[in-house]
A and B are shown apart, each in its own frame.
Chain A
């Protein structure tokens, strides 16, 4: 507070009023954000298994964390999550950028197309997951029929029993659903770019590729970063899509960390262990967010300079 003078009674009063005014907000944040978080951290230091009340609820220190870090299924789930995040966000960014560039052009019916592109985004995740499941399921699902007719496959493939093939519908469903969101963010970024820059580039004889490379991309960077943040954090917490599509199978080969946590917490009712997993997921997403914010902050100020 610059110029705050404790001897001035008016300022003291103002400070009090200010505190009184922000108090509800602070209390709300404490209640809905910090309290549950602190509670989860506290739970994570206990052995608390609702199915085994005879074990009591002893304090076990970091045992739950040790158990998680020693569990191959935990590391596998973390690996699956990272794989999913990188692959799906990468594809969404590339296709989204291409889509945004296309939508940025003036053509008849642009408004309609822009709205239509958003349809997959508007469909609830579980519904779209089931949609993709039906398309990939069985011997006579549309994907199998199509691929066999096109002679890509000699015989129908049971996608959901192959550890690698099971990822195809998962990634496709996510890309299909969230690319519109990325495209929209990038489109907003594109429209912020001054048209005179392209004019100048054209006069200097820059090719379309060079214009894209040296005008569009650098100026689109902030929008790309915003899209990246949102999508990576979302992808890292992926749950409903995989829950409905593969259930984490075959075996556990498409199980993401959120599904593993859900299983421990809500299926097995292991509150202590599940809380420890939740804290780990929270820590990872928090670090990712911090990293991005630092990066993005630098980019934004860099762009202004």
Chain B
């Protein structure tokens, strides 16, 4: 609020001086952009925005600091947008929020600005579409991938059977005590892990307005996850309380042969002062299984425009600038984030910036799929989290858990009018 007040006072003062000076120039258009980027990421952004303002003297971008935690940021956005505020103008969205904000009528369809959607990875665009319109542009991509130990095997496992065999062999030879670690606590991370197992067997969670998680593929995927814990003894039971960081600590202390994690872990584990596996690991796509293919859950940040903004054109200019190849390359170099434009992966400069070989990154992104694209994703995810966690902690059987999850999720979709797959009336 204070920021807004300061901004408006500044604008008034600017306007007053402009008028007093007898010039007819209007003050610059002020575009607000809430951002939680810390450290190097924040510095890159400040640099890029000041370059942008030099290029567009008529636009002034004002950063507004927001909480870093996704839940808190989401709550704040919902409060602002629900109240019909005209600022912030540009929004940084989590990939799972775009359909929610689009269906609520809070963000502007971007189609009229003619974004070059063909230049981006299809899955990153698909995640930002709602009812045939594009509502946000992917800024950088996060993908789930398999970390493996190059000193313990000659190549990464291609299938889950393979992974289990390798993990057991390594263990018998006196290797790390854990075979495979992933995010198994009851939270959003569990859904991304499950999505990758599910995709491996060819299953999906949602198709249009129909929940399809309770399928043969779903059952095989969840059973495989459970068997890897209790039958093959490859995944430790304690992973059922783990988030990203706990899995990273285990892997970087040399306690795990395989790990499922996001790209952020890579540069951290290459630092030999902290990591016992520096130079001894690589990444690959998550394993596949009969009936499906390698799958990576996609995350990352998107940029969208507040529907109530007074300056849609200026807001678009900011988004357009920040998603240009040069800015993406700079972000990749400084903070290691994956660009969402395919052509950049042909660029030799990218290889020097990214810790992971660009060809591998590209391959993994090409296997990526979005989580269910629906305005009520968060609620559906919560239901699924509970039933998956119950099955994995052996409070229920996989088949029964998936059946109940499907019933509850479908009931919710139907109740809010999203269940039939028909378009939702927007106000």
Which residues of chain A come closer than 8 Å to B236, judged between CB atoms? 139
A269→B416 CA distance, assembly (Å): 14
B379 surroundings in chain A (CB, below 8 A): 51, 268
- Stretch from B97-105, B137-145, B209-217, B283-291 at the A interface: B97-105
Beta-carbon contact of B104 and A250 below 8 Å = no
A251-B105 contact, Cβ under 8 Å, with A51-B78, A54-B427, A161-B393 = no
Please determine whether B240 and A250 come into contact, CB atoms closer than 8 angstroms: yes
Interface status of A120 (Cβ within 8 A of chain B) = no
Q: Which residues 408-427 in B have Cβ within 8 Å of A in the complex?
A: 416-417, 424-427
CA A223 to CA B100, docked complex, whole Å: 53
Q: Are A163 and B240 in contact (CB under 8 A)?
A: no
Query: B389: CB under 8 A from chain A?
Result: yes
Chain B interface residues toward A at CB < 8 A: 71, 75, 78, 82, 100, 103-105, 185-187, 236-238, 240-241, 375-376, 378-379, 382, 386-387, 389-390, 393, 395, 416-417, 424-427
A52, A249, A268: the one within 8 Å of B382 (CB): A268
- Residues of A within 8 Å of B104, CB to CB, are 51-54
A49 to B416, CA, bound (A): 10
Task: Give min CB distance, B94 to chain A, whole Å.
Answer: 14
A268 cross-chain contacts in B, Cβ below 8 A:
378-379, 382
Q: Please state if A249 and B186 are interface contacts (CB–CB under 8 Å).
A: yes
Given known A-B contacts A50-B82, A51-B376, A163 and B416 have beta carbons under 8 A apart: no
A52-B103, A161-B241, A267-B71 known; A252+B386 contact, CB < 8 A: yes
Using Cβ atoms and an 8 Å threshold, which residues of chain B touch A139?
A: 236, 238
Q: How far is the CA of A49 from the CA of B103 in the complex (A)?
A: 13
- Leading 6 A-B pairs by shortest Cβ distance: A251-B390, A250-B393, A161-B240, A249-B186, A158-B237, A160-B241
Chain B positions within 8 Å of A263 at CB level: 382
Chain A, residues 251-282, CB within 8 Å of chain B (1/0): the string is 11100000000010011110000000000000
Task: For B185, list chain A residues within 8 Å (CB).
Answer: 247, 249
Identify which of A51, A52, A53, A250 contacts B395 (C-beta below 8 A): A250
Contact with B along A155-166 (1 / 0, CB 8 A): 000101111000
Contacts of A161 in B (CB 8 A): 237-238, 240-241, 393
Q: A158-B238, A247-B186 are in contact. Are A55 and B390 (CB under 8 A)?
A: no
